[in-house]
Amino acid sequence: MNRRTFIAGATALTLAAARRRASAADAAKVSYRVGVIGHTGKGNYGHGLDTVWREAPGCEVVAVADADAKGLAAAVKRLKAPKGYADYRELLDKEKPDLVSICPRWLDQHRDMAVAAAERGVRGIYLEKPLCRTLAEADEIAAACEKHKVKLAVAHQTRYSPRLAVVRELLRSGALGQVLEFRGRGKEDGRGGGEDLWVLGSHVMDLVHTLGGDAKWCFGTVLQGGRPIRRDDVKEGAEGIGPLAGDEVHAIYKLASGATASFDSVRGAGGNPTRFGVQIFGSKGILEIYTGYLPPVSFLPDPSWSPGRTGRKWLPVTSAGVDKPEPLKDGGLHGGNVAAVKDLIAAVEGDRQPESSLAEARAATEMIVAVFESQRLGGPVPFPLKNRQNPLTMLG
C-alpha cells in the first residue's frame, strides 16, 4: 500500500467515524418517540396534528395507525414513519410511544383512543377538538389520565396565541374596566345550530372559560324550524358527534366572576367575514378576539360601546400590544399546533398541566352539553351537570 492510498483510506475511515458520531449525536437528540393515530374517511388527521411533530425538538414519529389501508400508506409516506399499523392498539403495544397525536376530527373514537393510550403508558397526548361526545366519556378520559399520570392537551390553537397574553393583560390591568359580558357566536354556515355549537362552539367556550372563569348555570334554547326541538328532530350528527338536533341555538351563562356569557348560532346567518369568535364587553370598552395562532384582535376604548356616536376607533391588538405593529409571522393553525406540542412536552417534563388542558376542555364540553340539557329540562341548569349522558337521548 503506497502513502497516497493509505492516506485516502485513513481519511475515509475518519469521515465514516465522523458520520457515525454525528448520527449518534442526532439520535441522542431524539428523546421522544411519537405515535400518530388517524382514520382516513372518519376524521382523517385533523388540522395538522400529524405533521406538527416535524417541528417539535427531540421528537421522532416512529409509527402511524390508520384503519383505512390507502390512508395508512399515504400517512406513512407523508410522515416518513418507519412503521404503519391498521390498529392503533397494536401501535401502542408494540412501539410504546412517549407521545401520541389523536388526530381524527370525528368524536366517536376519541374516548377509546385516549383511554387506550393512557393505559399503555404514554406520557403525553395531543388530541383534536372537540374532546368527546358526552361528559361520561370526558370523565373516563380524565380518570385514565389521572390514574396513569398522563398530560393531555386539546387542539384549541388560539389558547397558544401570543396575542392572547395581551388580551389577558388588558383584562387584568383594568383597561376594559369591569367585565360585564362575553358574547360568542359560531360560523353560522350550513352547520349552524347544534352542529355549530359542538364543532366551533368548542373554541368559543374554551375562550370564555379561560378568560371569564367557571360557569355557574346555563339557560339554553334549541330550536328546529323556529320551534323547540322534539324527539323526532334528533338525528345522528355529522363527524361522529352522536345524537344531534337544532338549526338554531341560544344560550346564556352566569360566570363565577359575576359576568354573563352568551352563545348563539343560527343556520345560514353567518357574516362575511365571519363573526366566529368572542367579544368581551366591559365598563370602559370592548375587546374582540377571533380564532387562530395570530387571530384578529381589536380593542374599542369606548364605554358607550357606540363608535358611531363617539367617533372612537377600533385599535388592533398584536403580540406587541395595543395599536402596535405585529413582529411575528402568522403560522396559522400550524403555528398553534407547534406551540401546543412544545407546551405539552414542557408540561410532561415539568409535571404540570398543558395550557389547553383536559380539565379546561371538559369544562368547555360541559358548557356545550348544558345547552341541550337546559332545553330538555325547560329551565336553567347548574354546574356541574348531574346528567353526564347526551340529553338528546332523553327527550320526552
Q: Which CATH number is associated with domain 161-328+358-394?
A: 3.30.360.10
The answer on pLDDT for 387 being more than 90 is yes
Q: What are 332-372's pLDDT values in tens digits?
A: 899 999 999 999 999 999 999 999 999 999 999 999 999 99
Q: Which CATH number is associated with domain 31-154?
A: 3.40.50.720
DSSP track, 114-145: HHHHHHTT-SEEEEPSS--SSHHHHHHHHHHH
Which DSSP helix (H) or strand (E) runs through 316? strand 315-318
- What is the predicted pLDDT for the residue at 71? 98
Whole-number Å distance between alpha carbons of 364 and 358:
10
Whole-number Å distance between alpha carbons of 268 and 383:
31
Q: Contact at 8 Å (CB) between 207 and 375?
A: no
Q: What are 51-74's pLDDT values in tens digits?
A: 999 999 999 999 999 999 999 999
- What is the predicted pLDDT for the residue at 11? 39
Q: Kindly give the pairing relationship between strand 285-289 and strand 297-300.
A: antiparallel
- What is the predicted pLDDT for the residue at 20? 43
* Confidence tier at 27 by pLDDT (50, 70, 90): very low
**Number of H-type helices and E-type strands within the chain:** 11, 19
The answer on pLDDT for 99 being more than 90 is yes
* Confidence tier at 5 by pLDDT (50, 70, 90): very low
* Residue 292 grid coordinates: 387562530
Q: Is 275 helix (H, G, I), strand (E, B) or coil?
A: coil
Q: Contact at 8 Å (CB) between 330 and 292?
A: yes
pTM of full prediction above 0.85 = yes
Percent of the chain with pLDDT over 70: 92
- What is the predicted pLDDT for the residue at 29? 56
Query: To the nearest whole number, what is the mean pLDDT of the chain?
Result: 93
Q: Contact at 8 Å (CB) between 58 and 344?
A: no
- What is the predicted pLDDT for the residue at 23? 41
Looking at the chain, the domain(s) classified CATH 3.40.50.720 span 31-154
What type of residue is 131? L
- What is the predicted pLDDT for the residue at 200? 96
The answer on pLDDT for 8 being more than 90 is no
Whole-number Å distance between alpha carbons of 177 and 170:
9
- What is the predicted pLDDT for the residue at 396? 82
Looking at the chain, the domain(s) classified CATH 3.30.360.10 span 161-328+358-394
